[in-house]
Structure 1
Amino acid sequence: MRTLTTKHRLLYVVVAAVVVLGGLVSAYYAGYALDWTTSTDRARSDKNAERTVDREQPAFVSTITPRDYEQNVPEALYVLLDRPLTASEQAALTGMNGDASQVWAFMKPLGGRIVERASYVAPFEDGNENRGESQTFHLNLNSDRSAGITINGMTAVKDACGAPTAQTVVDIPPAGSQSRQGLLWDMTGGKAEKPKGPYVLDEGDTQGELFFHHNVVDLGSGQSSMAFTVQPEVSTHTCAWHIDVSYIDTSGYHTQRIPKGNGTITTEAVPRKPLQYFRYITTTGWGCVGEMSQKGCTATEHIPRG
Structure 2
Amino acid sequence: MADERLPGFRRLPPKHRALYMAVAAVVIVGGILFAYYANYGLDRATSSDRARSDKNAEKTVDREQPAFVSTITPRDYEQDMPEAVVILLDRPLTATEQAALTALSGGNKSKVWAFMKPLGGRIVEYTSYLQIALEDGHEMPRGKAQSFNLNLNSDRGAGLTINAMTAVKDACSAPAAQTLIDIPPAGSNPRPGLLWDMTGGTADQPEGPYVLDEGESQGKQYFRHNAIDLGNGQSNMAFRVQPQVSDQTCKWHINASYTDTTGPHTQRIPTGTATITTEAVPQNPAQYFGWVISQGWGCIGQMSQQGCKATKTLERTHSERPA
Range class of TM-score, shorter chain:
over 0.9
In structure 2, the residue matched to 1:89 is 97
| Mapped pair 1:10 → 2:18 | yes
Equivalent in 47, 54, 65 of residue 57 of structure 1: 65
Cα shift at 1:109: 2.5
In structure 1, the residue matched to 2:122 is 113
Cα shift at 1:17: 0.8
In structure 1, the residue matched to 2:163 is 152
Equivalent in 240, 248, 256 of residue 245 of structure 1: 256
RMSD between aligned alpha carbons?
A: 1.7
Equivalent in 121, 128, 145 of residue 138 of structure 2: 128
Cα shift at 1:302: 5.4
In structure 1, the residue matched to 2:78 is 70
Cα shift at 1:177: 2.2
CA distance in 1, matches of 2:161, 2:70: 15
Would the aligned equivalents of 2:169 and 2:252 in 1 still touch at CA under 8 Å?
Answer: yes
Would the aligned equivalents of 1:280 and 1:287 in 2 still touch at CA under 8 Å?
Answer: yes
Letter of the structure 1 residue corresponding to residue 26 of structure 2: V
State which drifts further: 120-129 or 51-60.
Answer: 120-129
Q: Using a 3 Å threshold, how does the CA distance of structure 1 residues 127 and 13 change in structure 2: closer, same or farther?
A: same
Letter of the structure 2 residue corresponding to residue 107 of structure 1: M
SS at match of 1:261: coil
CA distance in 2, matches of 1:220, 1:84: 49
| Mapped pair 1:26 → 2:42 | no
In structure 1, the residue matched to 2:44 is 36
SS at match of 1:37: helix
CA distance in 2, matches of 1:40, 1:109: 64
Would the aligned equivalents of 1:131 and 1:186 in 2 still touch at CA under 8 Å?
Answer: no
Q: Using a 3 Å threshold, how does the CA distance of structure 1 residues 12 and 236 change in structure 2: closer, same or farther?
A: same
Would the aligned equivalents of 2:125 and 2:145 in 1 still touch at CA under 8 Å?
Answer: yes
Q: Using a 3 Å threshold, how does the CA distance of structure 1 residues 159 and 305 change in structure 2: closer, same or farther?
A: same
| Mapped pair 1:279 → 2:295 | no
- Per-residue CA distance 1:174-203 (angstroms, 9 max, x = gap): 111223222111111000001011111211
In structure 2, the residue matched to 1:230 is 241
Would the aligned equivalents of 1:289 and 1:301 in 2 still touch at CA under 8 Å?
Answer: no
CA distance in 1, matches of 2:301, 2:110: 24
Would the aligned equivalents of 2:163 and 2:258 in 1 still touch at CA under 8 Å?
Answer: yes
CA distance in 2, matches of 1:38, 1:86: 80
SS at match of 2:137: coil
SS at match of 1:68: coil
- Per-residue CA distance 1:231-257 (angstroms, 9 max, x = gap): 111111000000111111111111111
Which 4+ residue blocks in structure 1 deviate beyond 6 angstroms? none
In structure 1, the residue matched to 2:3 is none
Letter of the structure 2 residue corresponding to residue 123 of structure 1: A
In structure 1, the residue matched to 2:4 is none
State which drifts further: 48-57 or 293-302.
Answer: 293-302
In structure 1, the residue matched to 2:112 is 103
Percent of aligned pairs sharing the same letter: 67
* TM-score, with structure 1 as normaliser: 0.94
| Mapped pair 1:187 → 2:198 | yes
In structure 2, the residue matched to 1:177 is 188
CA distance in 2, matches of 1:302, 1:83: 25
Q: Which of structures 1 and 2 has the bigger CA Rg?
A: 2
Write 1 or 2 for the structure with the bigger share of helix.
2
Q: How many residues align?
A: 306
Structure 1 unaligned blocks of 5 or more: none
Structure 2 unaligned blocks of 5 or more: 1-7
Letter of the structure 2 residue corresponding to residue 146 of structure 1: G
Q: Using a 3 Å threshold, how does the CA distance of structure 1 residues 11 and 113 change in structure 2: closer, same or farther?
A: same
| Mapped pair 1:210 → 2:210 | no
Equivalent in 242, 245, 254 of residue 265 of structure 2: 254
SS at match of 1:192: coil
Letter of the structure 1 residue corresponding to residue 147 of structure 2: T
Letter of the structure 2 residue corresponding to residue 127 of structure 1: G
SS at match of 2:91: coil
